Amino acid sequence: MINRTVYKFLRKKSASKFGRITTLTGARQTGKTTLVKEVFPEFDYISLEDPITRPDYAALSAIQWHQQHPIVILDEVQKLPQLIESVKAVYDQFLDARFVLLGSSQILLLKQVKESLAGRTALIELYPLTLPERLTSSWDDEIKLSRLIQLLSNPSDTTCLQGMPQTNQQYARAEIEFQHYLNLGAMPAIVDHSLQESEKRDWLRDYVSTYLQRDIRDLANLRELEPFVRAQKTLSSLTSQLLNTSTLAKQAGITNITAKRFIHYLEVSYQIILLPPWFRNQNKRLSKSPKVHFLDPGIQRILLSRTGELTGGEFESAIISEFFKQIKNNRLEVECHHLRTLDGKEVDLLLELENGYIAVEIKKSRNISLSDAKHLRKLDEILDKPLLHSLVVSNDPHIQTWDNGKITAVPAAWLFS
Architecture in CATH for domain 6-126: 3-Layer(aba) Sandwich (3.40)
* pTM for the predicted model, two decimal places: 0.93
Burial environment of residue 174 by CB neighbours within 10 A (0 to 12, 13 to 18, 19 or more) = buried
- Name the DSSP class of 130: P
Domain boundaries, the chain: 6-126, 147-415
The Cα 264–Cα 260 span in angstroms is: 6
* Contact partners, residue 323, CB within 8 Å, separation at least 6: 148, 336, 349, 351, 360
Burial environment of residue 353 by CB neighbours within 10 A (0 to 12, 13 to 18, 19 or more) = middle
Length, in residues, of the chain = 417
Q: From first to last of the 417 residues of the chain, give the pLDDT tens digit.
A: 799 999 999 988 878 877 889 989 888 899 999 999 999 999 999 999 888 999 999 999 999 999 999 999 999 887 888 888 898 999 999 999 999 998 765 555 666 676 677 778 888 899 999 999 999 999 999 999 999 999 999 999 999 999 999 888 899 999 999 999 999 999 999 998 889 999 999 999 999 988 776 777 666 666 677 888 889 999 999 999 999 999 999 988 999 998 998 898 899 888 999 999 998 766 566 778 899 999 999 999 999 999 999 999 999 999 999 999 999 999 999 999 999 876 778 999 999 999 999 999 999 999 999 999 999 988 888 899 999 999 999 999 999 999 999 999 999 999 999
CA atoms within 13 A on the CB side of 12: 5
**Alpha carbon separation from 33 to 29, 74, 130, 177 (Å, rounded):** 9, 10, 18, 24
The Cα 361–Cα 138 span in angstroms is: 34
